[in-house]
Amino acid sequence: MVHASLKAIGPVEGGAAGVVQALDRAVGPDGTTMMTLGDHDEFAWVNDHPEPERERLLEDAPVFDPLHSPADPGVGVLAEVFRQQSGTVVSDNPEGRFGARGARAEELMADQPWDDYYGPGSPLDKLVGLGGKVLRLGADPETVTLLHFAEFLADLPDKRRVIRHRKVLGPHGPMVRAIEALDDSGGIVDYPGEDYFADICLDYIEAGRAGTGVVGNARSELFEAVDLVDFAVDWMEENLE
């Protein structure tokens, strides 16, 4: 699973598409590359309103199309270019959409849960189960999406949950559907620091548990997914209330 900052990497032959091609070559024909895509949701503000009002407010919203809706700009330019490349397979959850390329892409993207889309049975869970890794290419430390899976495993009371409503294509046409999950925007608990994902990531690197190097101009790290999740669960149980 890759998180990348094209700005940090610097000039690359072929631009963003050249980075995708380089990742394809790096994992080889038996490997798989995965990225978080999300969705460019211009009606996200609707979910700040009371639940009974949301369906009415979504009347003019476009229908989420997992194959064609643009990726969330917040996850970076590379995610949208990755999504558009021939051979990329995408999951169909508008709140937690992923993309994958390569030998295990279909397996990773299949049957993503509608609710708790980062939890058990999710592409993140499968990444851990397959012995996957997380590659950071100059990305900000708070962007490691795999830590959302650790939030499900951490033994903490009163984890904050959210319900969001999205307009999707149902069996009989467009419909508004509710999606319930742990709070993946505000955090599962209040935290006195700036961002506990960033603190976990930096503590993990400082502990010497990541492979480190330079890709282009970007300081980069490679994490073993299983080890990162174990570290994050212990960290959360010790530092979050």
The sign one gets for the Cα dihedral 78, 124, 158, 227 is: negative
Pure H helices in 10-133: 15-27, 51-57, 77-84, 105-109, 123-129
pLDDT band at 94 (very low <50, low <70, confident <90, very high): very high
Mean pLDDT, range 97-103, rounded to an integer: 98
Three-state DSSP at 101 gives strand
- pLDDT for res 96: 95
What 8-state DSSP symbol labels residue 154?
Answer: S
Angle at 235 between CA 229 and CA 236, to 5 degrees: 90
- pLDDT for res 241: 79
Q: Do residues 54 and 163 touch, judged by C-beta distance below 8 A?
A: no
Pure H helices in 28-68: 51-57
E strand or H helix at 212: strand 211-215
Across the chain, mean pLDDT equals 96
- pLDDT for res 69: 94
Determine the length of the chain: 241
Question: Residue type for 122, please?
Answer: S
149-193 tens-digit pLDDT: 999 999 999 999 999 999 999 888 999 999 999 999 999 999 998
User: Of 103, 95, 143, 89, nearest to 119 (Cα)?
Assistant: 95
- pLDDT for res 156: 96
Q: Using CA atoms, how far apart are residues 63 and 125, in angstroms rounded to an integer?
A: 28
200-221 tens-digit pLDDT: 999 999 999 999 999 999 999 9
Question: Residue type for 199, please?
Answer: D
Mean pLDDT, range 81-99, rounded to an integer: 96
Is residue 107 over pLDDT 90? yes
61-86 tens-digit pLDDT: 999 999 999 999 999 999 999 999 99
- pLDDT for res 140: 92
